[in-house]
Amino acid sequence: MGLVVQKYGGSSVADAERIKRVAERIVATRKAGDDVVAVVSAMGDTTDELIDLANQVSPVPPGRELDMLLTAGERISMALLAMAIHNLGFEARSYTGSQAGVITTSVHGRARIIDVTPGRLRGALDEGAVVIVAGFQGVAQDTKDVTTLGRGGSDATAAALAAALQADVCEIYTDVDGVFTADPRIVSNARMVKQITYEETLELAACGAKVLMPRCVEYARRYAVPIHVRSSYTLKSGSMVTGSMEDLPVEQALITGVAHDRGEAKITIVGVPDEPGEAARIFETVAGAEINLDMIVQNVSTVTTDPDSSRRLTDISFTLPQSDGPTAMTALARIQEKVGFRDLLYDDHVGKVSLVGAGMRSHPGVAATFFAALGEAGVNIEMISTSEIRVSVVCRDTDLDAAVRAVHAAFELGGDEEAVVYAGTGR
Amino acid sequence: MGLVVQKYGGSSVADAERIKRVAERIVATRKAGDDVVAVVSAMGDTTDELIDLANQVSPVPPGRELDMLLTAGERISMALLAMAIHNLGFEARSYTGSQAGVITTSVHGRARIIDVTPGRLRGALDEGAVVIVAGFQGVAQDTKDVTTLGRGGSDATAAALAAALQADVCEIYTDVDGVFTADPRIVSNARMVKQITYEETLELAACGAKVLMPRCVEYARRYAVPIHVRSSYTLKSGSMVTGSMEDLPVEQALITGVAHDRGEAKITIVGVPDEPGEAARIFETVAGAEINLDMIVQNVSTVTTDPDSSRRLTDISFTLPQSDGPTAMTALARIQEKVGFRDLLYDDHVGKVSLVGAGMRSHPGVAATFFAALGEAGVNIEMISTSEIRVSVVCRDTDLDAAVRAVHAAFELGGDEEAVVYAGTGR
């Protein structure tokens, strides 16, 4: 008898009917002989509705209270799920993040999991109960206040619990069948990837593939918990995320998949004095605003000379999540005089396409094929960034679909059948 | 600087606008120099909506999970209230029953408060914060599971916190101006009672007056916390519940008020063998079903003789909450053969009218005046029960309003002005 941690997102528990269906799936796993810990998000639009309520009483609600409010969402879904399982004749008990021992930092709205002390969960499992845990939430180690984990928090909860309980597998239920070679909504013959390493999954997730959150994969990799990505609408077997690149067989496929991201913006700082320390000052400012940059390019080709001071000038561009755009622009504008750059440009009509594959480490020709495919598709490349197992470019957002299709075809990633796309969005 | 515990019911926090108004009232108290602990119920119909959701997934939801679900209601209202206070420039922190140290028994759905350990609340008050606490909930001492306190639970939370924190006063905000000599919806010239003892308030509450719950008054009496009943819609001063009958001045008014109750039913057990132990067996059965009886009458006048066994038979009647009717009837039907009674009658078309007053202890004529007033009004008395400071009768429910008016007039309890009745119901 093993232990399975399952995570169900908000769309999987959106109403009473879906909750009952999830209960049936959990009971089926239980009947097959495994203990189950199920992590759930809030039902459907509950979180948005609660945020709306908060905004009705306060334009800028304090983080502690917003977390207290939002955690009511999972409390509702987890209790209902436990009731539905009970109704099928199985003992089930729900636990808040705090009760489940999910210990976090005290940064409200985006706390990080520091530790998991699952004593109560272990006790309930030992007594034969199915355990339901609220995703997305925990309790701050120092203040003992309730926290939320921010984006991808429920996936992170599942991976952290799986690690702490030494589960055999962490199943992430979503609205697609698994990890695909590209978004099936863009590439009709995208193929499901049956097995994929943590590293590749991390790169895909970081490049905009929505199926798994980076935090979840990081946790699973650190504690070597296999992640099984599956559809909550079918019984198909899905994708297994496991193993590191070192364990890969030699005949490993060159390329795993193509990811894309429409959620980034590009900021260009024009006319920065090309002197040691200036770039540092700029990125310290952005980091001070707690903004995570993605790609950074110093456009050496655009170096000019300031006619007044005869100092050499350069342009620096970087990408960041669109939601952080206003904060970053404000912070940068404040240091314009001190640094002495000429202008700040903001562009959110950009898209990013990335090619990920563990096999590309030993194949230097990959980038060339990638760029050639984009060129043939008439896609203009604005920025480039690479890692050991990834090549990414920024292009116009209007070129993004064409870019994804061209790259997917160039590396012959497609399967024979059309990929199935389900309605709804995952969380 | 004092400490005030305030309790706001569900109708007082039914939407964002009302929550903001409550926030203003709390801030006004704070500005006047007092520390504030505010106990809140769930917003308006939230509890009913959550119960509805529960019934969609399970016909008989397990108590532990139902409590987990329902406690989401106060979590939402308390976080919103804290935000609204924050928005007025005051620090406010919300705490669940568990965080506030409300320790209870583990009977889900109607847990009793065993102890209050308000360390975190005290700390927050010391730091100058307004403290908001979820009413109606606590944490079980043995299982550490979340519990709800059942009917009147938020009032009980407020009184218990006021006692534990040695507050100067516990203010219960409701939809009426205070405690009245009768329900103003029935008696148009009912008068507000400015001061009333715990004992009288307890009798009134037990007799169906909705303004205060018996559990709250019991707690306040035990720890000598003054309760101030006030309207959340006005700034009127309301009724003060304080002091015991022993402290009353000699010129104390004879009668405090008239209470009525439409929520009871009468069960009559016909043809019970008139032998020692039979009544005990019946009431043990009812107690075993955890039903609280109100009035009990053994109708001696109806003693008959069983023609078969020549045993003497008697009838026993008692009243109980209508909601417990089906359970009690089922439990009694099961012992019919064993006890050997003839029949079970159920009647929920009854009403109860009660006269309460600390002064009646030393005035034996009160009951006579009471019965005479009912007789003149043509009200037939079906059952009678008395305590040291109360006389109650059961009559037809259709006679109830006339009975209340007749008694109120007979004891000249009316004031000069018409009582104000607000829309909405308290919780």
B90/B339: higher pLDDT? B90
Q: At A20, is the secondary structure helix, strand, or coil?
A: helix
Our CA-based measurement puts residue A231 at a distance from the nearest CA of chain B, in whole angstroms, of 22
User: In this structure, is residue B297 part of a structural domain?
Assistant: yes
Of B190, B103, B187, B181, the closest CA to residue B149 belongs to: B103
Confidence band for A299, pLDDT divided at 50, 70 and 90: low
Q: At A206, is the secondary structure helix, strand, or coil?
A: helix
Does the structure show a pLDDT above 60 at A301?
no
Rounded CA-CA distance B107/B105 in Å is 6
User: In this structure, is residue A66 part of a structural domain?
Assistant: yes
Instruction: Give the mean pLDDT of B203-216.
Output: 84
Confidence band for B288, pLDDT divided at 50, 70 and 90: confident
Would you tell me the crossing angle of helices A325-334 and A278-288 to the nearest 10 degrees?
130
Range A115-143 burial, b when 16+ CB lie within 10 A, else e: ebebebbbebbeeebbbbbbbbbbbbeee
Q: In Å, how far are A379, B197, B200, B365 from B225, measured between CA atoms?
A: 76, 12, 15, 33
User: In this structure, is residue A425 part of a structural domain?
Assistant: no
Task: Provide the CATH number for the domain around residue A122.
Answer: 3.40.1160.10
Q: At A397, is the secondary structure helix, strand, or coil?
A: helix
Quick one: B167 and B291 in the same domain? no
Q: Give bridge partners of residue A228 from the DSSP assignment.
A: A171, A240
To the question of whether residue B135 is assigned a binding role by annotation, the answer is: no
Rounded CA-CA distance A164/A159 in Å is 9
User: For residue B23, which residues of chain A lie inside 8 Å, CB to CB?
Assistant: 57
Does the structure show a pLDDT above 70 at B301?
no
Residues 6+ apart with CB under 8 A from A365: none
Count of C-beta atoms within a 10 Å radius of residue A96: 22
For residue B180, the Cα-to-chain-centroid distance in whole angstroms is 15
Confidence band for B370, pLDDT divided at 50, 70 and 90: very high
Does the structure show a pLDDT above 70 at A302?
no
Interface test with B, best of A57, A90, A93 (most B CBs within 10 A): A57
| Residue range of the domain that includes B342 | 264-347
In the Cβ-directed half-sphere of A19, how many Cα atoms lie within 13 Å?
A: 28
Confidence band for B142, pLDDT divided at 50, 70 and 90: very high
User: For residue A75, which residues of chain B lie inside 8 Å, CB to CB?
Assistant: 68-69, 71-72, 75
pLDDT of residue B299: 66
Question: What percent of chain A is modeled with pLDDT above 90?
Answer: 66
Instruction: Please give the tally of structural domains in chain A.
Output: 2
Asked if residue A267 lies in contact with residue A316, where contact means CB atoms within 8 angstroms, the answer is no
Confidence band for A108, pLDDT divided at 50, 70 and 90: very high
Question: What percent of chain A is modeled with pLDDT above 70?
Answer: 93
Quick one: A20 and A132 in the same domain? yes
Task: Provide the CATH number for the domain around residue A269.
Answer: 3.30.70.260
Our CA-based measurement puts residue B106 at a distance from the nearest CA of chain A, in whole angstroms, of 15
User: In this structure, is residue A210 part of a structural domain?
Assistant: no
For B6, the token pair is 């305030």
Asked if residue A341 lies in contact with residue A302, where contact means CB atoms within 8 angstroms, the answer is no
pLDDT of residue B168: 96
Q: Which residue has the tokens 């009705």?
A: A56
Quick one: A159 and A278 in the same domain? no
For residue B15, the Cα-to-chain-centroid distance in whole angstroms is 25
Nearest CA in chain B to A96: B68
User: In this structure, is residue A167 part of a structural domain?
Assistant: yes
pLDDT digits (tens, 9 = 90+) for A10-21: 999 999 999 999
Would you call A72 and B82 a contact, using CB atoms and an 8 Å cutoff? no
Q: Is B122 left (phi over 0), alpha (psi -120 to 50) or beta?
A: alpha
Would you call B66 and A87 a contact, using CB atoms and an 8 Å cutoff? no
- Which of the residue ranges A63-67, A289-293, B172-176, B216-220 would you say has the lowest mean pLDDT? A289-293
B224/A305: higher pLDDT? B224
Count of C-beta atoms within a 10 Å radius of residue B337: 8
For residue A1, the Cα-to-chain-centroid distance in whole angstroms is 31
Rounded CA-CA distance A135/A374 in Å is 40
Q: Give bridge partners of residue B172 from the DSSP assignment.
A: B7, B229
Rounded CA-CA distance A349/A319 in Å is 11
pLDDT digits (tens, 9 = 90+) for A305-325: 777 767 788 888 999 999 889
pLDDT of residue A151: 80
Quick one: A158 and A294 in the same domain? no
For the sheet containing A92-95, what is the strand order? A92-95, A130-134, A35-40, A3-8, A169-174, A227-231, A239-241, A195-196
Asked if residue B384 lies in contact with residue B299, where contact means CB atoms within 8 angstroms, the answer is no
Asked if residue A4 lies in contact with residue A168, where contact means CB atoms within 8 angstroms, the answer is yes
Q: Which residue has the tokens 């922190």?
A: B93
pLDDT of residue B205: 85
Confidence band for A277, pLDDT divided at 50, 70 and 90: confident
Confidence band for A113, pLDDT divided at 50, 70 and 90: very high
Single out the residue in B131, B150, B174 at which a domain terminates: B174
Strand B195-196 vs strand B383-387: parallel, antiparallel, or unpaired? Answer: unpaired
User: In this structure, is residue B365 part of a structural domain?
Assistant: no
Count of C-beta atoms within a 10 Å radius of residue A390: 23
Instruction: Give the mean pLDDT of A171-185.
Output: 90
Quick one: A23 and A170 in the same domain? yes
Rounded CA-CA distance A69/B96 in Å is 11
For A224, the token pair is 């070597």
For B168, the token pair is 């100067």
Rounded CA-CA distance B163/B116 in Å is 9
User: In this structure, is residue B191 part of a structural domain?
Assistant: no
Interface test with B, best of A48, A78, A80, A137 (most B CBs within 10 A): A80
Amino acid at A207: C
Nearest CA in chain B to A120: B144
Residues 6+ apart with CB under 8 A from B83: A54, A57, A58, A61, A62, A65, A66, A69, B92
pLDDT of residue A253: 66
Please give the annotated binding residues of A, written as ranges.
7-10, 47, 74, 174-175, 185, 210-211
Quick one: A272 and A170 in the same domain? no
For B380, the token pair is 């037939």
Rounded CA-CA distance A268/A394 in Å is 13
In the Cβ-directed half-sphere of B425, how many Cα atoms lie within 13 Å?
A: 5
Asked if residue A413 lies in contact with residue A255, where contact means CB atoms within 8 angstroms, the answer is yes
Quick one: B170 and B68 in the same domain? yes
pLDDT of residue B266: 94
Q: What 3 state SS string does chain B have?
A: CCEEEEEECHHHHCCHHHHHHHHHHHHHHHHCCCEEEEEECCCCCHHHHHHHHHHHHCCCCCHHHHHHHHHHHHHHHHHHHHHHHHHCCCCEEEECCCCCCEEECCCCCCCCEEEECCHHHHHHHHCCCEEEEECCEEEECCCCCEEECCCCHHHHHHHHHHHHCCCCEEEEEECCCCCECCCCCCCCCCCECCEECHHHHHHHHHCCCCCCCHHHHHHHHHHCCCEEEEECCCCCCCEEECCCHHHCCCCCCCCCEEEEECCEEEEEEEEEECCCCHHHHHHHHHHHCCCCCCCEEEEEEEEEECCCCCCEEEEEEEEEEHHHHHHHHHHHHHCHHHHCCCEEEEECCEEEEEEECHHHHHCCHHHHHHHHHHHHCCCCCCEEEEECCEEEEEEEHHHHHHHHHHHHHHCCCCCCCCCCCCCCCCC
Single out the residue in A295, A318, A347 at which a domain terminates: A347
Range B406-415 burial, b when 16+ CB lie within 10 A, else e: bbbbbbebbe
Of A130, A139, A153, the closest CA to residue A5 belongs to: A130
CB pairs under 8 A between A and B: 110
Does the structure show a pLDDT above 80 at B309?
no
A89/A246: higher pLDDT? A89
pLDDT of residue B338: 87
Confidence band for B361, pLDDT divided at 50, 70 and 90: confident
pLDDT of residue A425: 35
Does the structure show a pLDDT above 80 at B308?
no
Would you call A75 and B79 a contact, using CB atoms and an 8 Å cutoff? no
For A30, the token pair is 């239980």
Would you call A82 and B75 a contact, using CB atoms and an 8 Å cutoff? no
Quick one: B269 and B169 in the same domain? no
Single out the residue in B140, B174, B208 at which a domain terminates: B174
Quick one: B35 and B152 in the same domain? yes
Q: Which residue has the tokens 């916390």?
A: B225
Predicted ipTM > 0.95: no
Q: In Å, how far are B265, B314, B375, B401 from B378, measured between CA atoms?
A: 21, 28, 5, 12
Would you call B68 and A94 a contact, using CB atoms and an 8 Å cutoff? yes
Containing H/E element for A341? none
Rounded CA-CA distance B384/B318 in Å is 11
Range A30-54 burial, b when 16+ CB lie within 10 A, else e: beeebbbbbbbbbbbebbeebeebb
Rounded CA-CA distance A150/A136 in Å is 7
Asked if residue B64 lies in contact with residue B145, where contact means CB atoms within 8 angstroms, the answer is yes
Q: Give bridge partners of residue B355 from the DSSP assignment.
A: B258, B391
Instruction: Give the mean pLDDT of A187-202.
Output: 91
User: In this structure, is residue A315 part of a structural domain?
Assistant: yes
Confidence band for A303, pLDDT divided at 50, 70 and 90: low
DSSP A61-128: --HHHHHHHHHHHHHHHHHHHHHHHHHTT--EEEE-TTTTTEEE-S-TTS--EEEE--HHHHHHHHTT
Quick one: A271 and A152 in the same domain? no
Of B13, B423, B393, the closest CA to residue B208 belongs to: B393
Would you call A72 and B79 a contact, using CB atoms and an 8 Å cutoff? yes
pLDDT digits (tens, 9 = 90+) for B70-128: 999 999 999 999 999 999 999 999 999 999 999 999 999 999 999 999 999 999 999 99
B160/A274: higher pLDDT? B160
pLDDT of residue B312: 80
Quick one: B25 and B136 in the same domain? yes
Asked if residue A151 lies in contact with residue A210, where contact means CB atoms within 8 angstroms, the answer is no
Quick one: A9 and A133 in the same domain? yes
For A265, the token pair is 């913006």
Confidence band for B425, pLDDT divided at 50, 70 and 90: very low
User: For residue B144, which residues of chain A lie inside 8 Å, CB to CB?
Assistant: 99, 120
- Which of the residue ranges A130-139, A310-319, B384-393, B405-414 would you say has the lowest mean pLDDT? A310-319
Strand A35-40 vs strand A130-134: parallel, antiparallel, or unpaired? Answer: parallel
Asked if residue A45 lies in contact with residue A78, where contact means CB atoms within 8 angstroms, the answer is no
Containing H/E element for A306? none
Our CA-based measurement puts residue A421 at a distance from the nearest CA of chain B, in whole angstroms, of 28
Instruction: Give the mean pLDDT of B26-31.
Output: 96
Q: In Å, how far are B203, B361, B371 from B353, measured between CA atoms?
A: 12, 19, 11
Numbered residues of chain B with Cβ closer than 8 Å to any chain A Cβ: 16, 19-20, 23, 50, 53-54, 56-59, 61-62, 64-66, 68-69, 71-72, 75-76, 78-84, 86-87, 92-94, 99, 120, 144
- Which of the residue ranges A112-116, B170-174, B230-234 would you say has the lowest mean pLDDT? B230-234
Nearest CA in chain B to A13: B57
